[in-house]
Amino acid sequence: MKTNRYPSKFGGPLALAAILASAFSSMSHAEDAFLPRAINSSTIPQNGDVNPYGVAFVPEGFPGGGTISAGDVLVANFNDSNNTQGTGTTIVRQPEHGPIAPPGTAITFFSSPLPGLSTALGVLRGGYVVVGNLATPDGSFSNIMCRKVQGSCALQVINRFGQVKATWPDQDGPWDLTIDDHGGWAHIFVSNVLSGKVVRLDVTVTSAGVTLQNTATIATGYTVQPSMAAVVLGPTGLAFDERTDTLYVASTADNEIHSVSHASHRKTPVTKGDVVFSNPHLIGPLALRFAPNGDLLTANGDATPNADPLHPSEIVEFTRRGEFVREYNVDASQGGAFGLDTRADADGGANFAFIDDVTNNLLVTRLHSD
């Protein structure tokens, strides 16, 4: 038996008009709202993994029908439920429009056979996720497994259903990555934290999978050193400027941002590249991304000797010319800033996602175009 969803006196066209008027009124109020659209959600899944590192938006044009969708945010966990570094195995998914996840309920998109998922997390719009790992069973630098057990550290290519489609071993420790995505082909730039170098992977992308065509080392010489706080310090964040064919590199231990020219077709490596930003505002820079306004954003990891309790867990904005713009702390304690990502909208607005390692939370916000 069908039920009447509305009282009879509000039936038919009058009901429809009332509903539409209410909807348009809500939309108008939403556009004029003071509060930004924001989601603050836990990154802890059912298995208890903590210490979120990599953050990546699923881009527009990503194929539908899988377990992730365009606009979702993915987060890779570095630690297990015992908070041992280098043992986390999950990539969690935060849906674009929510709901939020209380601790222990973040949606698991992928459970990795290789532990210690790093900041090396990116999404190809052809329908694949790429993630790196740095495995160490006890969280120590001395027991990093990448060069002790073949295949223990790698880049994994995962389809939109959370299934591994390819594994590319990497004994130098894939620590972060960025993607120059052209749909049917892409350049994947990877920072190797154990060797102090940056490599470019040239790949083709089809519905059948991602094929590695060529590998080139494009930069070397970044400082590598053990760290009690972060296991290891070395080259981390990467950001690619397609217009100028320049790759920007956050060298954590050097406390510097470097630029590498001709990055997409370079055949011989430079030594570090040119220093773009070396400034007291840098405190162990980690993740690196372009903001939609063209500036660069980096997350301070606070694991270098110049760590300052009065400037903890900061995200720093600076221009490509090396001019400081602004800083923002994601937590009142040190060590909270790590992974971040941005995404521009067609209407000029911007989406910004970053994690707080202290609370194991992800914040996703949409910033107004004005």
pLDDT tens digits, one per residue of 188-204: 999 999 999 999 999 99
Task: For residue 113, give the CATH number of its domain.
Answer: 2.120.10.30
For the residues 18-28, what does the mean pLDDT come to? Answer: 48
Is 312 contained in some domain?
Answer: yes
Whether residue 269 is contained in a domain is answered as: yes
pLDDT value of residue 129: 98
For residue 303, give the nearest of 319, 328, 280, 283 by alpha carbon. Answer: 283
Q: For position 30, what pLDDT does the model report?
A: 58
Q: How many domains does the chain have?
A: 1
Residue 285, judged by CB atoms within 10 A of its CB (0-12, 13-18, 19+), counts as buried
Tell me what the mean pLDDT of segment 316-341 comes to: 97
Q: Give me the pLDDT at residue 35, please.
A: 83
pLDDT at 180 over 70: yes
**What is the three-class DSSP state of 360?**
coil
Q: What is the pLDDT of residue 239?
A: 98
Q: How confident is the model at residue 349 (pLDDT cuts 50, 70, 90)?
A: confident
Give percent of the chain above pLDDT 90: 86
DSSP string, 64-101: SSSS--TT-EEEEEEE-TT--TT---EEEEE-TT----
Per the prediction, the chain carries an average pLDDT of 92
pLDDT value of residue 158: 98
Torsion angle of the four alpha carbons 31, 32, 34, 37, in this order, in degrees rounded to the nearest 10: -10
- Report pLDDT digits (tens) over 110-165: 999 999 999 999 999 999 999 999 999 999 999 999 999 999 999 999 999 999 99
Distance CA 272, CA 258 (A): 7
Q: Is residue 338 a contact partner of residue 301, using CB atoms and an 8 Å limit?
A: yes
Q: How large is the average pLDDT for residues 271-294?
A: 97
- The contacts of residue 221 (CB under 8 Å, 6+ apart) are 196, 197, 271, 272
Cα separation, 118 vs 131, whole angstroms: 7
105 domain-assigned: yes
Instruction: Return the top range by mean pLDDT from 19-23, 59-63, 366-370.
Output: 59-63
CB 150 within 8 A of CB 143: no
Q: What is the mean pLDDT of residues 341-346?
A: 88
8 Å CB contact between 29 and 350: no
Q: Which pLDDT band, with edges at 50, 70 and 90, does 368 fall under? A: low
Q: Give the C-alpha separation, 157 to 168, whole Å.
A: 8
Res. 327 pLDDT band, cuts 50 70 90: very high
Q: Which domain holds residue 320?
A: 42-367
- Residue 210 CA to residue 204 CA, distance in Å, equals 6
Model pLDDT for residues 69-121, shown as the tens digit of each residue: 999 999 999 999 999 999 999 999 999 988 999 999 999 999 999 999 999 99
Q: Which of 200, 240, 236 is nearest to 219 (CA)?
A: 200
Q: In this structure, what are the phi and psi dihedrals at residue 15, rounded to the nearest 5 degrees? A: -65, -45
Contact 353, 336 (CB under 8 A): no
Domain assignment present for 8: no
Phi, psi of 127 (to 5 degrees): 115, 25
Cis upstream peptide for 235 (omega within 30°)? no
The answer, yes or no, to whether residue 1 has pLDDT greater than 50, is no
**Is the residue at 246 inside a domain?**
yes
Has residue 325 been placed in a domain?
Answer: yes
Angle at 116 between CA 113 and CA 118, to 5 degrees: 115
Residue 33 lies in a domain: no
Structure tokens of 123?
């999404």
Tell me which residue of 93, 95, 81, 74 sits closest to 51, measured CA to CA. Answer: 81
Would you say residue 240 has pLDDT above 90? yes
Whether 251 is in a domain gets the answer yes
Q: Does residue 27 have a pLDDT over 90?
A: no
User: What per-residue confidence (pLDDT) applies to 140?
Assistant: 97
Give me the pLDDT at residue 16, please. 45
Q: What is the pLDDT of residue 13?
A: 44
pLDDT at residue 223 in the model: 98
pLDDT value, residue 19: 44
Closest to 192 in 3D by CA, of 234, 144, 223 = 234
What integer pLDDT is reported at residue 17 of this predicted model? Answer: 45
